[in-house]
Structure 1
Amino acid sequence: MESFTPISSFLGGALIGSSSALLLALNGKIAGISGIAGGLVDGARDRQWRFAFVLGLVLTGLLASALAPGQMAVTIHRSTPVLIVAGLLVGVGTRIGSGCTSGHGVCGL
């Protein structure tokens, strides 16, 4: 990513906001990934929509990467085990704090 693109940013934000609003309106659920993924791990009864949500995140990332490979290039200077531990710590921390950065940022909770 080389420069700020206001139109793309606006469209991306509109898609995220409308998706969150639809999830709330149709399912009564907040779009916070730690709670959604946590329900998969905790054995929640409503696993189907949670699995579909997480799968959609992964597949959309793969699709975006395939359609615009140069835009998704990132150089990471840490080992895979360090990244995995860091991700787990962030996830556990947000669950302990009863929150999620994506849920708070997108839904304002």
Structure 2
Amino acid sequence: MSDVSALASPLGVFEPISRLVAASPVFPSVLGAFESTPFPDGVTHYAVGGTLVGLGVAIVYLATAITAGNSTFLETTLSYVSDLPRFNQAKYVASRDWRVVLALSTVAGAGLYTFLLGSAWTTDVGLWRLAIGGFLVGVGTRVGKGCTMGHGVCGLGSGSRVSVVNVAVFVGVATVTALAVAAAGVSP
């Protein structure tokens, strides 16, 4: 019995699907990506970071009643230097100061992490892939009318149905993309 069948067997209802998946030449290699340890360095730093993000978002919301998403940061900061009506909407001008502080605190947090732990977080992913990924994420936040922080932290926390749909879409697409890249054998 394959690992896929063993995983689905306790659920019973998925037995026919697990046999089909196990017989497929593609799916076992895709699902093989799950065989590695997902958090080889533990989860503590993720839990601490998530708690701090949640606390920061809660403070901003309680103080201003505004969702503290990062995707609006560009529009709000462009209102400092642009005369275009698009960037000088009242909602952007009114929130630009605290959004700059929010963005700078994100960078400062990374600096504090580096200072306290003695080494910067690095990645083996090529610069061109990071640039393409960043561009696609930027486009996605505009199309989805919000970012992972706005929808995932603030929106889900406030029970927004729109945010539930957005989070389901971007987590689903990210999962499928990561599995497809792993199955294709692409390395950083």
TM-score over 0.5 (shorter chain): yes
CA RMSD for the aligned pairs? 2.4
State how many pairs are aligned.
106
Q: Which of 33, 42, 65 is the matching residue for 1:28? A: 65
Q: Is 1:101 aligned to 2:148, yes or no?
A: yes
Alignment of 1:64 with 2:113, yes or no, is yes
Which stretch shifts more, 36-45 or 90-99? 36-45
Distance 1:5 1:82 in 2: 26
Q: 1:73 to 1:49 in 2, by over 3 A?
A: closer
Q: Note the C-alpha offset of 1:9.
A: 4.2
Shift, 1:84, TM fit: 2.6
Aligned 1:39-54 pairs, distance under 5 A: 39-41=76-78, 42-43=87-88, 44-46=92-94, 47-54=96-103
Q: Does 1:4 align with 2:53?
A: no
Which residue in the other structure is 1:90 paired with?
Answer: 137
Q: Name the % identity.
A: 32
Amino acid at match of 1:88: F
Structure having the higher Rg: 2
Asked whether 1:76 is paired with 2:124, we answer yes
Q: Take 1:19 and 1:99, find their aligned partners in 2: how far apart are those partners?
A: 17
Deviations 1:25-65 (A, max 9, x none): 10111122112344223342132111111111111111211
Shift of residue 82, structure 1, vs aligned partner:
4.1
Distance apart, 1:88 and its partner CA: 2.4
Query: Runs of 5+ in structure 1 lacking a partner?
Result: none
Provide the C-alpha distance between the structure 1 equivalents of 2:64 and 2:98, rounded to a whole number of angstroms.
9
Aligned twin of 1:16:
53
Moved more, 45-54 or 61-70: 61-70
Any unmatched runs of 5+ in structure 2?
1-38, 79-86, 157-162, 164-188
The answer to which structure, 1 or 2, has the higher relative contact order (CA under 8 A, 6+ apart) is 1
Whether the 8 Å CA contact 1:37–1:50 is kept in 2: the answer is no
Q: Tell whether the 8 Å contact from 2:70 to 2:99 is kept in structure 1 after alignment.
A: no
Deviation at 1:16, TM superposition (A): 1.8
Dislocated runs of 4+, deviation >4 Å: none
CA contact (8 A) 1:37 1:54 kept: no
